[in-house]
């Protein structure tokens, strides 16, 4: 804690939806009087990054894109805010002396910076799925050895975190992740085959970035959360369930061996989970919508269809196989996602490519080091790229 009594915070991925909401929560909780913003980082949205650095009083602003350095430097001219760019700059930002680091960089690009923060001993408010999906055991070990706390920010994992009773882990029977079902919940595979990225990004309940929105539509987002849950809560794969809940009011549940099920409810607003992570173990006063149960009227649930949404089946396969299969699935999906957004492959082909790469790399063992995890990630990306090129040639 800073000598002023303010909590020191760094926000990795401040220009994304989680980062923007984090700064909103910081302002709600007292702004500069309560928080000392050590660093903010972004990618190519230099104008927003510079504005965030100025308004928050950040000491450092770093862009992942080295080509944006000059523009960021110019945008912050006349201030004493330090400017940096490139992959190493993100790691440097994460290594600065902060009490809590919001890890909100999307994709495996967030793994190295978040790992640096964990090794330094910061509390990690984790919104980056890939840290646990690609290197779960190694990352959890790094957090423990660093001495910080790992507090989930995904609404589902935050809900589970809140429903886990102290000293009752032995009594946990199941973890139930809720899924909205996305925009294609009732669509057939034939209908989904021809959709574009603009159609797939339209989530019915949440306002999120492109990657997460399309991941929700394909349910790859939920697939990654299944793998995350295994590492976050130290449960067996068979204890992890997924239920489709279109209203997104129950954010997830924990079932205990006595038959009790504890659920966390709230309006769909990421600021609730963010505020809890930044204030844990306290519950802060937040200006978010309150649930009106009379207007809510009903809550619906249905079993997920793993034929129409095979990502869930792939996650179970990755959990059963172990090793680097989570990293492989994630890497292949990331490459396929970009190809889909560029119109190079169809919506359904994302899962096809991920499955084939997972099958091709089934012989790879567990990652003994982060280098092993990065190597598996790189090989999966290479193979996915080759498959995409083959599909383009055949089209």
pLDDT tens, 137-183? Answer: 999 999 999 999 999 999 999 999 999 999 999 999 999 999 999 99
Q: What is the largest CA-CA distance in the chain?
A: 63
CA 230 to CA 381: how far, in whole Å?
A: 24
Q: Provide the pLDDT for residue 106.
A: 85
pLDDT at 349 over 60: yes
The tokens describing 123, both together, are 């509390």
Please provide residue 394's backbone torsions phi and psi, each rounded to the nearest 5 degrees. Answer: -80, -15
CA 216 to CA 200: how far, in whole Å?
A: 9
Strand, coil or helix: 291 = coil
Decide if 317 contacts 361 (C-beta within 8 A): no
The tokens describing 146, both together, are 């660093």
| Residue that the structure tokens 């449960």 belong to | 235
Percent with pLDDT over 70 in the chain = 97
Q: Provide the pLDDT for residue 59.
A: 98
Taking alpha carbons only, the member of 257, 187, 178 closest to residue 225 is 178
Decide if 146 contacts 118 (C-beta within 8 A): yes
CA 52 to CA 337: how far, in whole Å?
A: 29
pTM given for the model:
0.91
pLDDT-derived band of residue 297, with 50, 70 and 90 as boundaries? confident
CA 211 to CA 364: how far, in whole Å?
A: 27
pLDDT digit string, tens, across residues 1-36: 555 679 999 999 999 999 999 999 999 999 999 999
Name the β-bridge partners of 178. Answer: 243
Q: Is the torsion defined by CA of 160, 230, 239, 169 positive or negative?
A: negative
pLDDT digit string, tens, across residues 247-294: 999 999 999 999 999 999 999 999 999 999 999 999 999 999 999 999
Please provide residue 29's backbone torsions phi and psi, each rounded to the nearest 5 degrees. Answer: -90, 10
């Amino acid at each position: 804690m800073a000598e002023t009594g303010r909590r020191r915070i760094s926000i990795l991925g401040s220009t994304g939806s989680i980062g923007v909401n984090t700064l909103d929560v910081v302002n709600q909780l007292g702004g500069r009087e309560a928080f000392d913003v050590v660093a903010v980082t972004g990618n190519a949205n230099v104008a927003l990054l510079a504005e965030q650095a100025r308004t928050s009083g950040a000491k450092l602003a770093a862009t992942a894109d080295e080509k944006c350095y000059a523009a960021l430097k110019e945008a912050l001219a006349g201030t004493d805010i330090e400017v940096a760019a490139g992959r190493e700059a993100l790691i440097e930002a994460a290594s600065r002396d902060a009490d809590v680091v919001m890890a909100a960089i999307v994709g495996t690009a967030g793994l190295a910076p978040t790992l640096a923060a964990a090794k330094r001993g910061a509390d990690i408010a984790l919104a980056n799925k890939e840290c646990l999906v690609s290197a779960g055991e190694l990352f959890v070990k790094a957090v423990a050895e660093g001495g910080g706390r790992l507090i989930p920010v995904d609404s589902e994992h935050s809900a589970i975190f809140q429903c886990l009773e102290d000293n009752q882990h032995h009594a946990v029977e199941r973890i139930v992740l809720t899924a909205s079902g996305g925009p294609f919940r009732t669509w057939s595979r034939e209908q989904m085959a021809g959709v574009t990225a603009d159609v797939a990004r339209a989530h019915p309940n949440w306002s999120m970035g492109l990657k997460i929105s399309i991941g929700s539509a394909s349910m790859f987002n939920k697939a990654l959360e299944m793998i995350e849950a295994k590492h976050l809560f130290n449960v067996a794969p068979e204890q992890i369930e997924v239920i489709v809940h279109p209203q997104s009011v129950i954010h997830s549940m924990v079932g205990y061996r006595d038959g009790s099920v504890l659920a966390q409810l709230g309006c769909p607003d990421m600021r609730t989970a963010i505020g809890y992570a930044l204030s844990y173990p306290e519950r802060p006063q937040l200006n978010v919508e309150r649930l009106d149960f009379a207007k809510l009227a009903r809550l619906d649930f249905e079993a997920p269809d793993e034929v129409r949404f095979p990502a869930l089946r792939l996650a179970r396969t990755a959990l059963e196989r172990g090793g680097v299969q989570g990293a492989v699935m994630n890497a292949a999906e990331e490459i396929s996602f970009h190809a889909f957004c560029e119109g190079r492959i169809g919506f359904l082909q994302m899962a096809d490519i991920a499955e084939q790469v997972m099958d091709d790399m089934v012989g790879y063992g567990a990652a003994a080091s982060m280098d092993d995890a990065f190597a598996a990630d790189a090989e999966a990306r290479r193979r996915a790229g080759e498959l995409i090129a083959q599909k383009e040639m055949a089209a």
